[in-house]
Structure formats: C-alpha cells, structure tokens
A = this chain, B = another copy of it.
Amino acid sequence: MSTVSRALSDHSRISDATKKRVWELARQLNYQPNQLAAALRKGRSNTLGVVVPHIDGQFFALVVKGIETIANQAGFNVMICQSNEDAAQEQKNVETLLNAQVDGILLSLSLSTHDFGYLEEIRRRDIPMVFFDRVVESKEVSAVVLNDYQGGYEAVCHLIEQGCRHIAHLGGPQHLNICRNRYQGYADALQHYGLPLDPALVSFSDLRIQDGRQGMECLLAQAPQLDAVFSCNDLALVGAMQVIKRRGLRIPQDVALAGFSNELFDSLTEPMLTSVDQRCEEMGRTAVQMLLELINEGPTKVAPRQVVLQPNLLIRESSLRSSVLQETKV
C-alpha cells in the first residue's frame, strides 16, 4: 500500500522500475484513488467553496467561470452556493461549506447581509477566505474589488463632458461597499466640475428593474430638468430607460444614460447602453489565486491583502451625444 501510494505520487525514494510497474498496473486495473480517503487522511479536501448572491446575470456567472478555470488548474473542486440575496441563506451556505470541509471560501455578500457575526466561525476554524466584489471593508480580511469609485467617477465625468448638467443617480443600498463607492464617484465627479449635488436627483433602491422604473418616475417628478442618469447597475437603468422612452424623451439628446456592470443586454437595447465593465473573469481569477496562496502558505503566514481592479468605461449610444465616432469596443 505505502509503496503504491508513494509510487503514484512520484515519491523520490521509489525506484523508477517499481514506479513503472505500479503505474502500468494502475492503468490496467483502471485504478481511481478515493479522494475522500485521501482528504480525510491529509486533512484537506481539495475543494473550494463559493458563495454568490446569484448566478443569473453576467457578472457573477463570469466571475464563477474565472474561479473555476484557475481552481481546476490547481486541482481543486469548486462548490457554488447562491444566497439569493438573502442573509439567512448566505449563513446557511457558509455552514454547509464548512461542514463539507472545504479548504477555503470565496464570498460575495448578499444585499441583505448586515450582520457579519457568523463569519467569526470561519476565523475560529482558521479556514482561509477571500471576499470579492461585495466585501466587508476591513484591513483584516483579504478581498478583491473593482475600483467602483473610479468607475462611477469616470462614467459621470463622461456624461458631463457630453454636456449634461443635471445628472441623476439611481443608487443601491448604501451599506454595500460597491453602491456606496459608485455613489461617491458620482458625487465627486459633480464636485470636480463644480456642479451641485442635488438630493432631488438621487434615488436609492434595491436596483431591480421595477425599482429603476419607479425611481425614474420619482426623479422626473421632482426634478424635470434632469438631462442624464447614472445608475448603480444596468437592470435599474433599463427600467429607467423604459420610463424615459414612454415619456417621449430622446436618448441621449434629452437624457443621456450610463450604467454599471456591462450586462449582456446592454448591447441589445435601443439605444445600446453605456456601462462600466467590471473585469469579471479577472476578478474571479485573482480572488481564487489569493485564496490558493492563503491555503498553501497557511492563513496565519500571509497577511490579508486588498486588491483593487481598475474599471473600464464602455461608451455606447445611450450617452454619446457628440458626433465623435465611438472608439471603445462594445
């Protein structure tokens, strides 16, 4: 048994001759090692756990793809759980993963998670963990995020440069880092150009499509002079667009639009929607690489890091007023 095990793992103390014999026989018998037994003995399951709010929609689907690619290359299995934006479900997911003895956890917070207490259990068990996108902001934990602030800033600067002066914002829950930062980018861009930050031009919601419709109705009612909308995500922006069109307003001439996430449908609407691309796959790859590092070095060895990816503004018809030809790729 021991010799076999060592031969298969290419141990240096086994002669080439016996290795050959073992390999050959293993092939003949179609021997498949039992990962469970190995996991039990070695105390590592070679499995990674991922918790995402949902996988419909481009963003998380692509992040997951990036995660799977790298994880599989490194010989790790991946277990994916959806919290469905529900804090209780998220906690259950984490418990499930811990019970499944995963070697590490990748997590993006649900919309409704306010209490992070349950994460203590992960610390207590010394399970490596990396947040991505929607993170608890702390120097104590590893995380990879987009520079959402920069994304919001650039998008709004672009709108201003297109001549817009009354730019509205459809914002998300402010306890989420991403929404807060995008909003801050919006605010700072306005300030940079000497424009006022008008509360009547800002509407917060959970950013579903119906929230976008409703928010837009509201904004148009209280600030009819608005000439652009920057939305914290694309789904809400589509809702807003529907309302704008129904009112007979032209896009981008009367109201210019810019969103966030570069969803698949952004190029399918009319006009096509300007949006901030989030480098989804890269985010997934980076997160899992950091996690693997933590796993291999031991979570106590390597200090927590926060990686920030730079966003990429994709300018499309919904915000392009000037006759300048569009240079950015769709």
A contacts, CB < 8 Å to B:
32-37, 39-40, 45, 47, 54-58, 61-62, 64-65, 68, 72, 77-82, 84, 92, 96, 98-101, 238, 264-265, 268-270
Cα–Cα distance between A39 and B265 once the two chains are bound (Å): 43
Cα–Cα distance between A99 and B33 once the two chains are bound (Å): 7
Interface pair A101/B56, CB less than 8 Å apart: no
Cα–Cα distance between A250 and B238 once the two chains are bound (Å): 23
Give the contacting residue for A100; candidates B58, B64, B77, B82; CB below 8 A.
Answer: B77
Interface pair A79/B77, CB less than 8 Å apart: yes
Interface pair A47/B82, CB less than 8 Å apart: no
Residues of chain B with a CB closer than 8 A to A79's CB: 47, 77-80
Residues of chain B with a CB closer than 8 A to A269's CB: 265, 268-270
Apart from A33-B99, A65-B84, 4 more pairs, CB < 8 Å: A36-B45, A77-B96, A78-B80, A265-B265
Q: How far does the Cβ of A186 sit from chain B's closest Cβ, in whole Å?
A: 24
Residues of chain B with a CB closer than 8 A to A270's CB: 269-270
Cα–Cα distance between A80 and B61 once the two chains are bound (Å): 12
Whose C-beta in chain B lies nearest to the C-beta of A239?
A: B268
Cα–Cα distance between A78 and B93 once the two chains are bound (Å): 11
Contacts A45-B36, A96-B77, A264-B265 given; does A64 touch B68 at CB 8 Å: no
Residues of chain B with a CB closer than 8 A to A35's CB: 99-101
Q: How far does the Cβ of A83 sit from chain B's closest Cβ, in whole Å?
A: 11
Q: How far does the Cβ of A140 sit from chain B's closest Cβ, in whole Å?
A: 22
Residues of chain B with a CB closer than 8 A to A58's CB: 56
Interface pair A100/B47, CB less than 8 Å apart: yes
Chain A to chain B contacts (Cβ below 8 Å), 28 pairs: A34-B101, A35-B99, A35-B100, A36-B39, A36-B45, A36-B101, A37-B40, A40-B40, A54-B65, A55-B65, A56-B61, A56-B65, A57-B61, A61-B61, A65-B82, A65-B84, A68-B81, A68-B82, A77-B79, A78-B80, A78-B81, A79-B80, A80-B80, A264-B265, A265-B268, A268-B268, A269-B269, A270-B270
Q: How far does the Cβ of A305 sit from chain B's closest Cβ, in whole Å?
A: 28
Residues of chain B with a CB closer than 8 A to A62's CB: 56
Residues of chain B with a CB closer than 8 A to A72's CB: 92, 96
Q: How far does the Cβ of A312 sit from chain B's closest Cβ, in whole Å?
A: 18
- The 8 A-B pairs at the shortest CB distance, nearest first, are namely A265-B265, A56-B61, A36-B40, A55-B61, A80-B80, A270-B270, A265-B268, A36-B39
Q: How far does the Cβ of A196 sit from chain B's closest Cβ, in whole Å?
A: 33
Give the contacting residue for A98; candidates B32, B39, B56, B98; CB below 8 A.
Answer: B32
Interface pair B32/A99, CB less than 8 Å apart: yes
Q: How far does the Cβ of A142 sit from chain B's closest Cβ, in whole Å?
A: 23
Residues of chain B with a CB closer than 8 A to A96's CB: 72, 77
Whose C-beta in chain B lies nearest to the C-beta of A99?
A: B35
Q: How far does the Cβ of A16 sit from chain B's closest Cβ, in whole Å?
A: 26
Residues of chain B with a CB closer than 8 A to A32's CB: 98-99
